[in-house]
Structure 1
Amino acid sequence: MGLLSLLTSNPTAFIIIALALVLSLAIHEFAHAYTADRLGDPTPRRYGRVTLNPLAHLDPIGTLLLLVAGFGFAKPVPINPNNLGRWGTLWVAAAGPISNLLIAFVCAVLLKVLPTTQISLTILLTVLGINVVLAVFNLIPIPLLDGSRILGALVPSLGRSLSQFEALPYSFILVFGFIFLAREPLSQFIRTVQNWVLTVVGI
Structure 2
Amino acid sequence: MPMPHFDIAQIIREIALLAVPFLLAITCHEVAHGYMAYRLGDPTAKLAGRLTLNPLKHLDVLGTLVLVVTRMIGWAKPVPVDSRYFRDPLKGMMYVSLAGPGANFALAIIFALLYHGIMAAFGGRLLSEVAYMILEPLRQIFMLGVQINLVLGLFNLLPIPPMDGSGILAYFLPRTAVAQYLAVGRYGFLVIILLAATGMLGKLLWPPVAFFMKMLLF
Structure 1 length normalisation: TM-score? 0.85
Q: 1:179 to 1:154 in 2, by over 3 A?
A: farther
Maintained 8 Å contact 1:43/1:79 = yes
What is the Cα deviation at residue 68 of structure 1? 3.1
Partner of 1:55: 56
Residue identity in the other structure for 1:130: I
Q: Is the 8 A contact 1:29 1:76 kept in 2?
A: yes
Counterpart residue number, 2:23: 22
Is residue 49–residue 56 contact of structure 1 (8 Å, CA) maintained in 2?
Answer: yes
Q: Is the CA contact (8 Å cut-off) linking 1:100 and 1:134 kept in structure 2?
A: yes
1:128 aligns with 2:146: yes
The amino acid across from 1:49 in the alignment is: R
Question: Relative to structure 1, is the Cα distance of residues 23 and 41 closer, same or farther in structure 2, using a 3 angstrom cutoff?
Answer: same
8 Å Cα contact 1:138-1:146 kept in structure 2:
yes
Q: CA deviation at 1:10?
A: 4.5
Counterparts of 1:4-153 in structure 2, within 5 Å, are: 7-70=8-71, 71-84=73-86, 85=88, 86-114=90-118, 115-116=121-122, 117-153=135-171
Q: Highest Rg: 1 or 2?
A: 2
Cα separation, 1, equivalents of 2:43 and 2:204: 39
Structure 1 residue runs of 4 or more that deviate by more than 4 Å after TM superposition: none
How far did residue 69 of structure 1 move? 4.5
Measured against aligned partners, the alpha-carbon deviations of 1:49-81 in whole angstroms (never above 9, x if no partner) come to 111111111112222222234433211111111
**TM-score (normalizing by structure 2):** 0.79
Kindly indicate whether residue 179 of structure 2 is the aligned counterpart of residue 175 of structure 1: no
Return the alpha-carbon distance in structure 2 between the equivalents of residues 75 and 145 of structure 1. Answer: 13
2:166/2:182 contact within 8 Å kept: no
The residue aligned with 2:3 is: none
Q: Size of the alignment, in residue pairs?
A: 193
Matched, 1:164 2:183: yes
**Cα-Cα RMSD:** 2.1
Question: How has the CA–CA distance of structure 1 residues 124 and 80 changed in structure 2, closer, same or farther, with 3 Å as cutoff?
Answer: same
Q: How does 1:188-199 map to 2 (within 5 A)?
A: 188-198=207-217
- Structure 2 counterpart SS, 1:167: helix
- CA gap 1:81/1:127 in 2 versus in 1, 3 angstroms: same
Match of 2:130 in 1: none
| Contact 2:160 2:185 survives alignment (8 Å) | no
Q: Quote the Cα distance in structure 1 between the aligned partners of 2:147 and 2:10.
A: 21
